[in-house]
Structure 1
Amino acid sequence: MSQWFYAEGNRERRGPLPAENIVELFRSGRIAADTLVWREGAEHWQPLQAFAAELGLPDVSGPAVPVPPALPDLPAPPPPAVQHVHVAVPNPPPAAVRQGLSGCAIVGIIVAVVGVILLAVLAILAAIAYPKYREYTLRSKTSMVQAQLGALKGEVSAFASEHERCPVNGDAGFGSPESYEDGTIAEVRIGRFDGGHCGLEARLQAPGTPQLDSKAIWLDYDTQTATWKCRSDVADNYLPTDCRS
């Protein structure tokens, strides 16, 4: 499964994300036809519209945008380290062959023993691989939430600078918490939170996934330094690196 990256503002690389998340970002207006994207196997960064057919986006339109010189082609990120498990399987004792046992019967016994060993090894590998895949899938969802909140961050900082106070839901340009429901986001509260910082509180919805459902991601804005900080009550292994405690 190819991993995708996109350049936020055509300057900052974001990812990796699966193809369906790139499609979700485009559908929700977070990225546009001229947003630069790259996937494993691509020679260089190209506008999203260049991958429209591959991503199943026939409605992508807009003029092609050249890659800015400040954003060089990037090599594919190294694949995640695979934990190799060495299973020591003792050699089975030689089967007692009755007098007159045919060669076909001996071969059948050997094939059966080897088959049991292979099944045991595959079961162990599957037990290791599935949790890692699940962890990656949930981390992709929280990364998507963080990307979706990107536009609101700019609006909050601009309002705070102009009005010298934190905006709240219902202020000009800001909707109700429920109006921001989108995918994994159930609602977004805007205001002043713990520590006196302006910020955003995104409540998550993921029925059947207790690791994320009803959890929250907070983005705190320090008006003194004009910087943002991410925190969450989601376990660190399901969060982007810059949002971990």
Structure 2
Amino acid sequence: MTNWYYHDPSQGRVGPIDGDAVREHFRAGRIQRDTLVWREGLREWQPLQRLENELGLGVTPPPLPLDIAAAPAPAATPALAAAPSSHGRADFTAALDAAEAPRSQASAPAPSAPEATASNAASSNAAPANTAASNAAPSAAGSSPAASAPPQPQRSVSPADYAPAHVRRQSAPPPKRGLSGCAIALIVVAVLAIPVIGILAAIALPAYQDYTHRAKLAGALAASNDYKLQVAQYYAAHQKCPNNASDGFRPAADYASALIASVQFGRLKDGGECAIQLELRGFNRAQLDGRKIWLAFDPASAQWTCSSDVERASLLPQACRN
């Protein structure tokens, strides 16, 4: 089945519909021959009159046979002039009387052939003055509209032309197109979902960023386990805390990585514990970049503690929040 579309000035594009529906709209007067239509396979919209043969709208009946076409049309009978109301019947009768008037005038009797011959013979035997008068008389008679005018064609009047307005057939108005219940529900859901999504994003995005930064920081601290092992071994061998200049250690910048700017070794001033200082970078967050984490080693208990100058403790691993 071929899907058809047509353009309506008040509704825009209407369709898809099949060919039978297009023919029905055309017969009902909803679309005209200049209405733009389109179907699958056409490159562009075209007037309906270009496709009327394809839709069967331009088919006309074959001509009548000569013997039937030459037969005179039957005279209208008073029974055909009946209308649904008295007012329509009176209008139709008046129209028939008006149509019959020219015919009665055109059918006035004309002089017969024998009378014309006798008149011509009498005029030939008369005097010249009578001859002129007799010649003028036929000329005047010949110029009469009743004798020379051709008969008027009979006007065909249909009872429907004079029927009351309330009984005339009117084309049905085009159906109104509107939003369906599902479309309205989707619009309401979309309008309500936008603020909800915004609220969820405002809550979830910072929490996700904090989780990502804690994971990165935990990975950087895990890489410092090797440094803690070196400090403990050095203290056990020399009974003092190492620094970056001690044997087996390197300058602070040599320990740099994607998340660590430098690693310094030494002793804390207050408690005297051996310490490792980690300077952070690469987090793209002012609360972390440039901040420091201290890992302190107590030789008496052989335990490590963690502290930091990061103001927001929730960004640190649990072990470094005290």
Does residue 152 of the first structure (1) align with residue 152 of the second (2)?
no
- In 1, the alpha carbon distance for the partners of 2:296 and 2:317 equals 16
Q: Secondary structure at the match of 2:319?
A: helix
- In 2, the alpha carbon distance for the partners of 1:107 and 1:188 equals 63
Does the C-alpha gap of structure 1 residues 107 and 226 become closer, same or farther in structure 2, counting only changes over 3 Å?
A: closer
Q: After superposition, what is the alpha-carbon deviation per residue over 1:18-43, rounded to whole angstroms, capped at 9, x for unaligned?
A: xxxxxxxxxxxxxxxxxxxxxxxxxx
Contact 1:218/1:232 (<8 A) preserved: yes
Partner of 2:261: 186
Question: How far is 1:165 from its partner?
Answer: 0.6
- In 2, the alpha carbon distance for the partners of 1:208 and 1:239 equals 15
Q: Secondary structure at the match of 2:179?
A: helix
- In 1, the alpha carbon distance for the partners of 2:176 and 2:206 equals 46
Contact 2:273/2:296 (<8 A) preserved: yes
Does residue 205 of the first structure (1) align with residue 281 of the second (2)?
yes
Partner of 2:41: none
- In 2, the alpha carbon distance for the partners of 1:206 and 1:155 equals 26
Does residue 120 of the first structure (1) align with residue 192 of the second (2)?
no
Q: Which runs of 5+ in 2 are unaligned?
A: 1-174
Question: How far is 1:204 from its partner?
Answer: 0.8
Does the C-alpha gap of structure 1 residues 207 and 131 become closer, same or farther in structure 2, counting only changes over 3 Å?
A: closer
Equivalent of 2:307, from 223, 231, 237? 231
Q: Which runs of 5+ in 1 are unaligned?
A: 1-99
For normalisation by structure 2, the TM-score amounts to 0.43
Question: How far is 1:102 from its partner?
Answer: 5.9
Q: Secondary structure at the match of 2:306?
A: strand
Q: Which has the higher strand share?
A: 1
Equivalent of 1:168, from 211, 224, 243? 243
Contact 2:259/2:281 (<8 A) preserved: yes
- In 1, the alpha carbon distance for the partners of 2:255 and 2:182 equals 65
Percent identity among equivalent residues? 37
Q: Which has the higher helix share?
A: 2
- In 2, the alpha carbon distance for the partners of 1:164 and 1:104 equals 85
Equivalent of 2:290, from 214, 225, 228? 214
Contact 1:206/1:214 (<8 A) preserved: no
Q: After superposition, what is the alpha-carbon deviation per residue over 1:178-201, rounded to whole angstroms, capped at 9, x for unaligned?
A: 010011000011000242110100
Larger Rg: 2
